[in-house]
Amino acid sequence: MKINAYKIFDHKPIEITVEDCCIHSIRDIESTDSEMWIAPALVDIQVNGFAGYDLNVSTVTASDVIEMVRSLWRVGTGFLCPTIVTASFEDISNSITAIVEACQSDSATANAILGIHLEGPYISAEDGPRGAHPLQHVRKPNLDEFCRFQEIAEGTIRIVTLAPEKTGALPFIEKLVADDIVVSIGHTEASPDQIRDAISAGAKLSTHLGNGAHSRIQRHPNYIWEQLGADELWASLIVDGYHLPPSVVKSMIRAKTLERCILISDATALARMPSGQYKFAGQAVKLTADRKIHLLGTEYLAGSAIELAIGIENAVRIAGISLSEAISLATLQPLKLLGVDIDQSKIGDDFILFEWNSDKNKMDLKMTVMNGQVEFNNI
């Protein structure tokens, strides 16, 4: 089978030859009338679960992780940082172990997982900033505990989200940064000075900026403005239509610029699941028919129920950026954050093929290829 497509970043036409579910060749061609686009496989640095597979339950297994990864391939997300939230030492350790065992037993999963994102447990205990994280397991940074987590993870924890106002946070940040771990500010009620101190210690990212926050805060100064105005910080954004209003998404992307923004899904196990009541991080949540998740009895959201491709669609629709720019925020930028340097002019072994409806700003995924193998095909 031969497929023609345009490369998303330079719009040059190419021809792809597929034989026996493998990519046989990719070559440049002079022209094509194809409506297909080719882009790198999407990269999501914050995935708590997907399609019923939950990384944050005590029963999670290596098989669950493997199946979750393959479910993500079917919606275009090729690479991810599986994300473990606040829990007991035992439950966090169990989740880490499942991820490590999945990578050991399945090379394709190992290729797809860029590292573990530990979101908590060193976060604010306050309602609002804590989000859906269970209060009983929130604690101050503990380097000995973290080193035990990293030992279990065999050195694969790559991102840690924490609240810099917690006792002992600054030396903790400095130690993690020295070990080449991305420290992200999130689920915080820090003062502007505490945020600046965290940046000086090496914090590099704001986790889902604008969320994991009080529903009402001082107009200014506050912890959102301080992070938004800090050129040293990248920002990850959940663009699902609920976590941030359109005007806020547009303003944040403009303030941070395309060079320092990353689209994330913050997907939970409820993504791609039927509406109804569920448990997330041990707490009761409700998934609505329009894919909104909130903690029952509160006004607070509890993660998202979208895949990253929907964040791309929404970013184009509401932020006034191009399709190629939005895809960059979900491919090139997260890889740069993690120190992975890629040549955007080349088509590698991991990519997606899709058609784009510019009237509706909708992506119709046709194929996902990982390591040269066709993992999803709807052509």
pLDDT in tens, 5-64: 999 999 999 999 999 999 999 999 999 999 999 999 999 999 999 999 999 999 999 999
User: 356 in a domain, yes or no?
Assistant: no
Give the closest residue to 238 by CA, choosing from 182, 301, 332: 301
User: 322 in a domain, yes or no?
Assistant: yes
pLDDT at position 365: 98
pLDDT at position 169: 98
Give the closest residue to 339 by CA, choosing from 127, 177, 105: 177
Please compute, for residue 225, the number of CA atoms within 13 A of its CA located in the half-sphere on the CB side: 9
- 84 forms beta bridges with 118
* Domain CATH for 67: 3.20.20.140
Angle between helices 246-256 and 308-319 (to 10 degrees): 90
Kindly list the distances between the CA atom of residue 348 and the CA atoms of 26, 39, 179, 342, in Å, as whole numbers in the listed order. Answer: 9, 10, 29, 9
The span from the CA of 115 to the CA of 196, in Å, is 27
Q: What is the radius of gyration, based on Cα positions, of the chain?
A: 20
**Residue carrying the six token digits 């529903």:** 215
**CA 16, 19, 367, 350 torsion: positive or negative?**
negative
The type of residue at 53 is: Y
Q: Which two tokens stand for residue 85?
A: 């939230």
Q: What angle do CA 363, 233, 346 make, to 5 degrees?
A: 45
pLDDT at residue 183 is higher than 70:
yes
Report the number of distinct structural domains present in the chain: 1
**CA 279, 102, 185, 179 torsion: positive or negative?**
positive
Query: What are 285-336's pLDDT values in tens digits?
Result: 899 998 999 888 887 788 899 999 999 999 999 999 999 999 999 999 999 9
Average pLDDT, the chain: 96
User: 15 in a domain, yes or no?
Assistant: no
- Domain hosting residue 116, numbered range: 41-344
**CA 312, 316, 320, 322 torsion: positive or negative?**
positive
Beta pairing, strands 276-280 & 261-264: unpaired
User: 362 in a domain, yes or no?
Assistant: no
pLDDT at position 345: 63
User: 243 in a domain, yes or no?
Assistant: yes
Region 186-211 average pLDDT: 98
pLDDT band at 344 (very low <50, low <70, confident <90, very high): low
User: 363 in a domain, yes or no?
Assistant: no
Instruction: Supply φ then ψ for residue 366, to 5 degrees.
Output: -110, -35
User: 202 in a domain, yes or no?
Assistant: yes
User: 359 in a domain, yes or no?
Assistant: no
- The total of other beta-carbon atoms located within 10 Å of residue 372's CB is 13
